[in-house]
């Protein structure tokens, strides 16, 4: 954000990617939404994430971010995401200021704007990781702040680091992204995770996507239309076994009870419909994997956990490496 000749915030003008990409060098100023990343930037971030794996495993007490302070400004709790970011920062020698009850900053009683809060917090830290309950809050924060902002989820909007770690996991597990077949299973209507993933997969060649979901939570048309416009093949299926036998990745998601209101009957019907269990494993290819954004209920049975193709805990761990990479890139650059 220091260079006046560049756009103030890359994420705020996602069309102009080229200006930020020169060979493998580009300027990453904020992480606001999955759409800000193109294929080359994803590849570059993943390369750094691989370096981070090495650092985490072999270089205990790494200090490349020594002296940097990250503020985790969480307007709603998300312990899992917060711990992942804080671990990432500390694994690189950085320090953390934590707020789990950041709503207090902008409480109705006091009425401070998000912008004012950001102007204060940027005086105390070098980077802000923000979780907010309102869609678009991260972008507003980034426009205000003179330090980098990472969106750790803003309401029904974006959760870009989850999208990045999902794509990174596929590449790590399958070895490639072009030409893969991915089955998206479960709640495809409400899960921002699968929507972002579908969006990012459209950047690769010859990808085939299968949607397997109960009728009430089917993938919405906007994503289907988008995939079609990008030449990505997709189909809907009610046969999880057949899809599982063809796919490189079976990406299971949780049916979220809170989406069904008082229709517990619909919820119960939906959640029991597509379960990943040993039967599903038995038809999957040897190199294929099962993924899940976690937390899970019983949509993947515990018996699956011990199979080497159960990739969901490795996926969670990859979130650490992706976040380490982003912190490194935002604070130190390439």
Binding site for its own copies (CB under 8 A): 60-62, 66-69, 71, 77, 79-80, 83-84, 86-87, 90-91, 95, 97-102, 104-105, 109-112, 116-117, 119-121, 123-125, 254, 257-258, 294-297, 313, 316-317, 320
Spot the catalytic one: 66, 80, 176, 257: 80
| Catalytic position from the list 91, 132, 139, 159 | 159
Nearer to its own copies, 213 or 318 (CB): 318
Tabulate helix, strand, coil % of the chain (nearest 5): 45, 15, 40
- The residue among 98 and 282 lying less far from its own copies, judged by its C-beta, is 98
- Whether 81 is a known active-site residue: answer yes
Radius of gyration of the chain (CA): 20
Does 110 participate in catalysis according to the annotation? Answer: yes
- Beta carbon nearer to its own copies, 246 or 317: 317
Shortest Cβ 12–its own copies spacing (Å): 19
> Are β-strands 25-26 and 21-22 bridged in parallel, bridged antiparallel, or unpaired?
antiparallel
Listed residue (183, 124, 130, 116) closest to 161, CA to CA: 130
- Shortest gap between Cβ of 79 and its own copies (angstroms)? 5
Residue closer to its own copies by CB (options 120, 135) is 120
Q: Minimum CB separation from its own copies for residue 181, in Å?
A: 27
Q: Which strand ranges, in their side-by-side order, compose the sheet holding 249-252?
A: 233-236, 208-212, 181-185, 249-252, 289-291
Catalytic residue from among 10, 82, 91, 131 = 131
CA distance 23 to 9: 20
From residue 213, give the alpha-carbon distance in Å to each of 117, 187, 263: 41, 6, 17
The closest alpha carbon to 151, from 172, 132, 167, 177, belongs to 132
Candidate list 15, 22, 58, 110, residue with the active-site label: 110
CB of 301 to its own copies, least distance (A): 12
131 included as an active-site residue: yes
The smaller minimum CB distance to its own copies, of residues 24 and 119, is found at: 119
- Beta carbons of 296 and 277 less than 8 angstroms apart: no
Q: Which residues are catalytic?
A: 80-81, 110, 131, 159
């Amino acid at each position: 954000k220091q260079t006046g000749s560049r756009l103030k915030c890359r994420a705020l003008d996602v069309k102009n990617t080229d200006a930020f990409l020169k060979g493998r060098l580009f300027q990453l100023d904020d992480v606001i939404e999955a759409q800000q990343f193109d294929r080359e930037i994803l590849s570059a971030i993943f390369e750094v994430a691989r370096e981070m794996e090495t650092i985490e495993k072999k270089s205990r007490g790494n200090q490349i971010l020594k002296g940097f302070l990250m503020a985790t400004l969480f307007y709603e709790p998300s312990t899992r995401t917060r711990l992942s970011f804080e671990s990432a920062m500390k694994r690189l020698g950085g320090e953390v200021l934590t707020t789990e009850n950041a709503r207090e900053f902008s409480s109705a009683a006091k009425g401070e704007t998000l912008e004012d809060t950001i102007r204060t917090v940027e005086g105390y830290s070098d980077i802000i990781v923000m979780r907010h309950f309102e869609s678009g809050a991260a972008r507003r924060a980034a426009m205000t702040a003179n330090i980098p902002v990472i969106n750790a989820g803003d309401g029904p909007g974006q959760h870009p680091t989850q999208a990045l770690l999902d794509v990174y996991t596929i590449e790590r597990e399958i070895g490639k992204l072009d030409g893969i077949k991915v089955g998206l299973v479960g709640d495809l209507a409400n899960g921002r995770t699968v929507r972002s993933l579908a969006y990012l997969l459209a950047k690769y060649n010859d990808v085939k996507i299968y949607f397997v979901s109960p009728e009430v939570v089917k993938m919405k048309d906007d994503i289907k239309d988008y995939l079609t416009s990008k030449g990505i093949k997709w189909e809907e299926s009610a046969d999880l076994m057949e899809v599982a036998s063809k796919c490189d990745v079976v990406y299971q998601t949780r049916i979220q009870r809170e989406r069904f209101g008082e229709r517990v009957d619909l919820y119960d019907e939906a959640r029991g419909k597509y379960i990943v269990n040993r039967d599903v494993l038995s038809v999957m290819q040897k190199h294929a994997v099962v993924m899940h954004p976690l937390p899970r209920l019983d949509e993947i049975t515990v018996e699956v956990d011990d199979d080497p193709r159960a990739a969901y805990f490795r996926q969670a761990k990859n979130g650490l490496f992706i976040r380490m990479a982003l912190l490194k890139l935002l604070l130190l650059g390439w």
